[in-house]
Chain A
Amino acid sequence: MTEKIKKVSIIISKGSLDGVYPGLIMANGARMEGIEANLFFTFFGMDAIHKDRMKKIKVATVGNPGMHLPTFLGSIPGMSALATKMMMKTMDKLDIPPVPEYVEMIHDAGGRLYACKATVDMFKFKREDFCPQVEAIINVGRFYEISAGGQIIFT
């Protein structure tokens, strides 16, 4: 039998709904399997751990071929908000929580969340801007240290 995965370190680098959720689902899924999980938020992915922005994560309706929506429709004001609302409703029925609740759940399950120092400096964020579940603001070197011995997944 192949050896079981013991640790995963997942990077979330995008700030859209479809950019954030795969990483969250993988981190939670890892914890459910007893796999140690680290989440590293960088660039726009950091919105998912930012106190205010984490409630406003949306799906893009323009320039997003995956939506199968022509640009002239996708660019209508409010379309992104509508598409997001519809998606969130469907996800809730499937028991997939909204981002703030999901972050809390992953943390309660023992997952560790980190913010990328480079992005924090770039956007001039502070520790207080983040939700309480964030363990620390770390640089990429430290990320490699905590990922050692496990798998790294980039999303």
Chain B
Amino acid sequence: MPQKRIADFTIDVDEEGFLTDLGQWNRDIAAAIAADEGIPALGPAHWKVIEFLQKEFKESGQVPSVRKLNKSGVVSTKDLYALFPGGPAKKAARIAGLKKPEGCV
């Protein structure tokens, strides 16, 4: 399992940089991954999305779709794309320490 050194932590990741063990995640790692993804700082809106993704993943075992995010009221589709430009579903999942989203929506 490839390992990566991020923000003074050594974590296990897959070939695409997604954490393979959510237990290794913390907010510093999230911020470092975000910086890697071109998001220099995570604001409260980012954290709301991350927390929602993690909560949904814990409950259903799946990363929620963009549609679910929109309907949940946590963040609108427009804002989501503004917060995580260039691929919100994948980027937000990676930053949240979750696996790559599988769905087509």
State the A residues within 8 Å of B (CB).
25, 28-29, 31-34, 94-97, 101, 105, 108-110
Contacts and interface: CB of A to CB of B under 8 A. Distances in A.
Nearest to A25: B104
Contacts of B77: 105, 108-109
Contacts of B104: 25, 29, 96
A150 to B, nearest CB: 16
Nearest to B82: A110
- What are the 10 A-B residue pairs with the smallest beta carbon separation, nearest first? A34-B86, A108-B77, A34-B87, A95-B65, A108-B78, A95-B105, A95-B67, A32-B89, A33-B87, A96-B105
A95 B89 CA distance: 14
A97 B67 contact: yes
A25 B105 CA distance: 7
B30 to A, nearest CB: 20
A28 B85 CA distance: 14
B85 A34 contact: yes
B76 A108 contact: yes
30 contacts: A25-B105, A28-B66, A28-B105, A29-B104, A31-B81, A32-B66, A32-B88, A32-B89, A32-B90, A33-B87, A34-B85, A34-B86, A34-B87, A94-B103, A95-B103, A95-B105, A96-B67, A96-B105, A97-B105, A101-B67, A105-B66, A105-B67, A105-B70, A105-B77, A108-B70, A108-B77, A108-B78, A108-B81, A109-B77, A109-B78
